[in-house]
Amino acid sequence: MMTAGSRESGAGRIVIIGSITAQLTGQGDAAYAATKAGVAHLSRQLAREWVRQGINLNVVQPGYIRTELVGNWFDSEGGKAQIASWHRRRIMDIDALDDLVLYLASDASAQITGSVFTVDDGQSL
């Protein structure tokens, strides 16, 4: 981006996908949670380092989404119990992040950098 002239154009955009696990505590996922917290902090640090290079860097921290990664977990009894424990008692669809990521990657977000956005349908409340 810098080589392509982001400093002059101000058009550099980076969106990093983290996880709500960065801000939660759980059982048995300490290493995963620590790495996701590291992703959020590293991203803010890089946003500060690159701000004068015309690069905006932001983080989206999604909650649980029905994806291939989770397979059929949310159809199991344990998965159904997990969904029932959330305030809205539903899981997000695969396209839940699309609008925010498109916005952050666009010129409309020119004034936003170093931000961390949680998109979890209230799962972390």
Whether the CB-CB separation of 63 and 119 falls below 8 Å is answered with: yes
Between CA 106 and CA 61 the distance in angstroms is: 18
Q: Given 17, 30, 32, 122, which residue is catalytic?
A: 32
64 is a catalytic site residue:
no
CB 69 within 8 A of CB 16: no
Distances (CA, A) of 114 to 26, 80, 84, 99, 109: 26, 35, 33, 18, 12
**Region for 21 from its dihedrals, namely left if φ exceeds 0, alpha if ψ lies in -120 to 50, beta otherwise:** alpha
Q: ∠ at Cα 56 (47, 38), nearest 5°?
A: 35
- Could you list the active site residues? 32
